[in-house]
Structure 1
Amino acid sequence: MTRRYRHDYGDDPSQWGELFLPDLPVGGRHRGVVVVIHGGYWRSTYGAELGEPLAKDLAEHGMAAWNLEYRRAGNGGGWPGTFQDILAGIDKLADLAAPHALDLGRVVALGHSAGGHLAVWAAGRNRLEGLGPAEGSQVENSTDGVRLTGVVSQSGVLNLGGAERLSLSDGAVANLLAGPSSEFPGRHRMADPMAALPLDVPVYAVHALGDDDVPLSMSTTYVEASQAGPVPAQLVRVPGDHFALIDVTAEAYLTCRELVGGLLR
């Protein structure tokens, strides 16, 4: 049986998450947590409903899952709100650990599409201060809080500069960051997972071979750039289209679930 608990991490209607938990033996603790971060090219068209089936499935397979909602561009997010929310939402797990018997020694993010970008970006939070100042309001206390110990990116937009050059989803990157890199180079650099390399945690860049929404180059360029680091990212190709990765019956998703389980062991 799966139990679920909704918790807010801020005052905005989009600042919440839902914790999905499998049953535990008396006195037991959950072995780590999976933070599920949905996609939708950072726009408010899509929300946490995309991540709910994944979180429920993970809990049904014995894993605690935190399905995270956040402010998106056009919904109070963008720069820096979306990024602040991802860190605050992950940090909320520190408050939930004791009441829900969570072991935060393993916290793995599973992010789809734009959520893959945010998941890998959050894994580099300890390097944010070295990426230069952002225009206007900055992400505060970026190096503190709950650390991710691994990431599974599902056709993630992992090369933000490349995504801007390709104008993916009708300029989604410029929409997220409220302007082009020529106008706001600092925030574009701070928002790009490529700029936080090398990471010291494992990243699996899973990409669907039939993906027409996020090109394979978004994963391959990131993986190639990571190879000189202490923990090189790994590219995993799977069959299916962009949404096969969040179809809990599809081979593409089952591969992701297996990778997440391995990171929690």
Structure 2
Amino acid sequence: MTEPTPTAPAAPTEAGDIMSWDDLFGRTQPQTDIRIAYGEGDLQFSELWLPEGDGPHPVVLMIHGGCWQTDIAERDIMNWIAEDLRVRGIAVWNIEYRGVDREGGGYPGTYEDVLAAGDSLMQNWDRYNLDVEPIVAIGHSAGGHLALWLAARQSAFTGQPLTGDVRLPISTVISQGGLPDLEAGILREGHPCGVEAPRLMMGNQPELTSPQRMPAAMARQILVNSDRDRIAPPEYAEAYRNANLARDATNIELVVIPDEGHVELVSPGTDSWNRQVELIEEALDR
């Protein structure tokens, strides 16, 4: 099944089963009241989860998934883990963007949104007393592709095409059950995300859109996957890692969590999320 929108009703799973989206959405959803626009469109904004205290606050840049489609998921699918990081003293810059099912989405619009959201973070860090040296970027599912792409984009910062104003100081990128290989995605008949969404995201430009076809990211890449994930099984991450190792990109590792699925990756209290918290805090030297 594809990822439902965050308004789905709760329905508990049986003991020993993996989580469903209903299990997560049945929890009270945290909210933040800080929204920063980076464009004029309804989906061109980020939400800041700001810890208590004066700071400076370390930062995680967060990118939601949903098969690159706004109708499937928006940024609030990440609210639970954003709040979990906030109460740990870590600020979260949770970005929204146009999916392929919205005007201007796909290539190049979705990428331009991600770049503009990153620029907006660097333009506002002083206002909110954020510590952006370094930044950890994380993304779930399709957002994992975008997070890995953003890290690779910093290594290929040429100014053209897909111009962003600043180079983000991303030291570590975490792909949470990501779908990084768009070319492989186009060939996955029967996959819940379908083949049209990755095709629209690639736009016949794999060297600009698929991270393994771009210059290798300088950031440390951590692929966190759950072994019962039916959307992004560990084999996808292993293939991506092997493609990078074949071109001597050694700063990439695969972490597989047993007995959990796709939803656990963005659900506080799970083994998958607890391991990611450890990795984030390590990357931020906390």
Alpha-carbon deviations, 1:50-71, whole Å to 9, x = none?
A: 1111111101111011111111
Q: Equivalents in 1 of 2:91, 2:193: separation in Å?
A: 36
Question: In the alignment, what sits opposite 1:54?
Answer: 81
Q: Unpaired runs of 5+ in structure 1?
A: none
Q: In structure 1, which of residues 68, 78, 81 is the aligned counterpart of residue 106 of structure 2? A: 78
Select 2:267's aligned residue among 238, 243, 247.
Answer: 247
Structure with bigger helix share is: 1
Q: CA deviation at 1:178?
A: 3.1
- Per the alignment, in what secondary structure is the counterpart of residue 105 of structure 1? strand
Q: Deviations over 1:91-143 (max 9, x none)?
A: 1111211110011111111110000000000001135478xx9xxxx41247x
Give the distance between the partners of 1:245 and 1:117, measured in 2 at CA: 15
Q: Which position in structure 2 is the counterpart of 1:219?
A: 237
The partner residue of 2:174 within 152, 176, 199 is 152
1:1-265 superposed matches below 5 A: 4-25=33-54, 28-30=55-57, 32-45=58-71, 46-76=73-103, 77-128=105-156, 138-141=161-164, 144-167=166-189, 168-169=191-192, 171-172=194-195, 174-178=196-200, 185=204, 187-227=205-245, 228-229=247-248, 231-239=250-258, 240-265=260-285
TM-score, normalised relative to structure 2? 0.80
For the 8 Å contact 1:6–1:17, the answer to whether it is kept is yes
Range moving further from structure 2, 9-18 or 194-203 = 194-203
In 1: Cα distance, 2:102 partner to 2:111 partner: 13
Residue 93 of structure 1 aligns to a residue in which SS?
A: helix
Q: 1 CA distance for matches of 2:252 and 2:215? A: 10
Do the aligned partners of 2:134 and 2:284 also contact (CA within 8 Å) in 1? yes
| Cα pair 1:197 1:226 within 8 Å, conserved | no
* Contact residue 39 and residue 111 of structure 1 kept, 8 A: yes
Over 3 Å counting, the alpha-carbon distance change for 1:80 and 1:5 in structure 2 is same
Equivalents in 2 of 1:82, 1:249: separation in Å? 31
For 2:183 and 2:282, how far apart are their aligned partners in 1?
A: 31
Contact 1:36/1:109 (CA < 8 Å) preserved in 2? yes
SS at match of 2:187: helix
In structure 1, give the amino acid aligned to 2:272. Answer: A
Which structure 2 residue ranges, 5 or more long, are not aligned? 1-30
Q: How well do the aligned residues superpose, as a CA RMSD in angstroms?
A: 2.2
8 Å contact kept, 2:37–2:44: yes
Aligned partners of 2:192 and 2:48: how far apart in 1? 30
- Distance in 2 separating the partners of 1:247 and 1:141: 32
